[in-house]
Amino acid sequence: MITHAQLLELLRYEPETGQFIWLTGKNAWKPAGKLLPARKFTTRSGMSLPYWTVGILGKTYFRAKLAWFYVTGEWPAMEVDHRDTDSINDRWDNLREATRQQNNANRRTFKNNKTGHKGVHYRDDIKKYRAMISVGGRNRSLGHFEKFEEAAAVYEQHAVQAFGEFARM
């Protein structure tokens, strides 16, 4: 692992843009890093996201974690979450430390979600909307509702209770 002193010697982090700039070598004053396309990095849940990586001294680092290390002087104890869910937006004000559960709570709605709202799906067999939430790895039914708006409101209320600032609707 790179030390904080080595990082400060080799790169400069621009908190307003989220980019790193090389300070030495043939690439001095050029942007550092490579965008890993979504198909190259898949999470355990099957979600595919693009990420910036930076290769330093023979090791590759995720740019968001490197930014955290650059600014704080310590590697993140947990995951680094992107507040706006944009995995390539590594501006400092967009990054925060998070548990896996908090990071998952801040995910966007999956593309195959037919209702367009997290935690809500339509049950054809009973002609009702079902609200569900997953907390601590356990799925919990929040009830069945005649109207989509009711199911969405119940999910939102429980998401804010369970995930606080990480809740995303």
Identify the CATH number of the domain in which residue 136 sits: 3.30.730.10
Q: Domain holding 83: CATH number? A: 3.90.75.20
> Is residue 103 a part of any domain in this protein?
no
Looking at 98, 126, 152, which one is the last position of a domain? 98
Same domain flag for 22 and 79: yes
> Is residue 162 a part of any domain in this protein?
yes
Cβ–Cβ under 8 Å, residues 81 and 97 = yes
Looking at 42, 70, 98, which one is the last position of a domain? 98
Same domain flag for 93 and 125: no
pLDDT tens for 75-123 read 999 999 999 989 899 999 999 999 888 888 887 777 777 888 888 999 9
Q: Which residue has the tokens 């709570």?
A: 105
In angstroms, the CA 163 to CA 156 distance is 10
Looking at 98, 118, 136, which one is the last position of a domain? 98
Same domain flag for 70 and 112: no
This prediction's pTM? 0.76
In angstroms, the CA 93 to CA 106 distance is 16
State the pLDDT at residue 54.
Answer: 96
Cβ–Cβ under 8 Å, residues 92 and 67 = yes
Range of the domain at 132: 108-166
Same domain flag for 93 and 117: no
pLDDT tens for 19-71 read 999 999 999 999 999 998 876 555 555 556 788 999 999 999 999 999 999 99
Beta bridge partners of 139: 134
> Is residue 92 a part of any domain in this protein?
yes
pLDDT tens for 123-142 read 999 999 999 998 888 999 99
State the pLDDT at residue 47.
Answer: 56
* Domain count along the chain: 2
State the pLDDT at residue 132.
Answer: 92
Same domain flag for 83 and 128: no
> Is residue 142 a part of any domain in this protein?
yes
